[in-house]
Structure 1
Amino acid sequence: MLTLHFAPNSRAGRIVWLLEELDLPYELNRMDFHPKDLKSDEHRARHPLGRVPVLDDDEIRIWESGAIVEYILERHKNGGLKPVVDSANYPAYLQW
C-alpha cells in the first residue's frame, strides 16, 4: 500500500493528482507545516531534513516530489502518461 505523507499546499498535490489519475490505492498522512510535525523524531525517521512529501511503498521510502512522480510512473502502471525519451513530447513532460 502506498502512503503519502504530505502537508496542504505543498508539492504533494501533484503526487495526489498522479495517484488519482492512475487509479492507484493510497493512504494520506496529513501533516502541518509546523515543527511539531515536520521536525518530530517520527517524521525525521522518514526524511532526515523533516520535509514533505514522502512516499512509503511497503519497504521503500522516497522523498522529493519529482523523484516520487518518476518512481510511481516506473514502478506502478505507466498509464501512458510518460512519453518515451525520444518523443517530441518528452521535454514538455519533464517541465510539468
Structure 2
Amino acid sequence: MPKKSSAAALRCGLCERDVQATSRHHLVPREEGGRHGPIVDLCQPCHSSVHRFLSNRDLARRYPSVEALRGAEELQTYLRWIRRQRVERIVNRRGKK
C-alpha cells in the first residue's frame, strides 16, 4: 500500500528523490523467504524498475540491502536517468527473461 504525505515529501530509498508517494519493497522478496525481513520505501518508478530488471532470486541472493541494490549494475543506467526526472509514475511491463 503506497504511503502518501500531504505536508512533506517522502524520499525514495533507491533514487533518493523527494516524491509524493512510496511503497514498501522487501529487500529479500517474500517468495524467497523475506516476508519478515528488511524493507525499504521506494517510489513507484523505482519499485517497478527493480522488478523489471532483477529477478526475485537475484534480489534475494545478490541485493539483500539497499546499498547493494543501489550498486546493482543492472540498475545504473536507470538510476542515472531517474535522478534527473520529476516523474512520479511510469509503466514497465516485464519482458521475457
TM-score, with structure 1 as normaliser: 0.30
For the pair shown, the structure with the greater C-alpha radius of gyration is 1
TM-score, with structure 2 as normaliser: 0.30
